[in-house]
Amino acid sequence: MLQKRVAIINRFLSKCTSQRLYNKTFKLDKANTIFVIENCVNYIGRASADNMKIRDLTVTYYQIGEVFVWSCSQVVAMIMLCINCEKLLQAKEKTKFLVNKLVMDYELPKGMRMQAKVFMETLNIWPLRVFIYDMFSADVLSIFKVISLCASYLIVVIQVTQ
């Protein structure tokens, strides 16, 4: 969508520069009298201090850039969050593996094994998952879900516009 908006701005500017419409709107004669050509189509407008169309195009182009940078930063933040949550889950699985080794080591004192069993139950009860708005968990699988959602949306949009 952003690329289409930039393309619209570029088409607008290329029409104005290729056809030199800004030079055709007025003409000076030898006595420096301005004669305005009425049949000329001018997209930018006459050169004057009140004409703000180029400024408006610049503001639009700047806003498109801001939206692009903002959306990219949000995607990167989501990816970093999901990767960190996945690392937390991997560390939990490693902890479960090590605690299970302690539980299964019968040479340890009975009290230490019992404490390891309680710790294993705690690990099983508390999953250490980070939930976003209590709706879905943040992990690497979430990244792929978002990518598949975007691909599905893109397919639907392409089918509707064709």
Which sequence spans correspond to the domains of the chain? 81-162
Helix 53-104 to helix 2-18 angle, to the nearest 10 degrees? 160
**Greater pLDDT, 19 or 77:** 77
pTM for the model stands at 0.57
Q: Given this model, what pLDDT does residue 123 score?
A: 87
Q: Given this model, what pLDDT does residue 117 score?
A: 93
Q: 53 is written with which tokens? A: 């169309």
Residue 34 sits at φ, ψ, to 5 deg, of -90, 125
- Tell me the per-residue pLDDT of 108-132, one tens digit each, with 9 for 90 and over: 899 999 999 999 999 899 888 888 8
- The CA-to-CA distance between both ends of the chain, in Å, stands at 16
DSSP label of 33? -
DSSP label of 48? S
Q: Given this model, what pLDDT does residue 2 score?
A: 59
**Residue 21 in contact with residue 44, Cβ under 8 Å?**
yes
The model's confidence at residue 140, banded by pLDDT at 50, 70 and 90, is confident
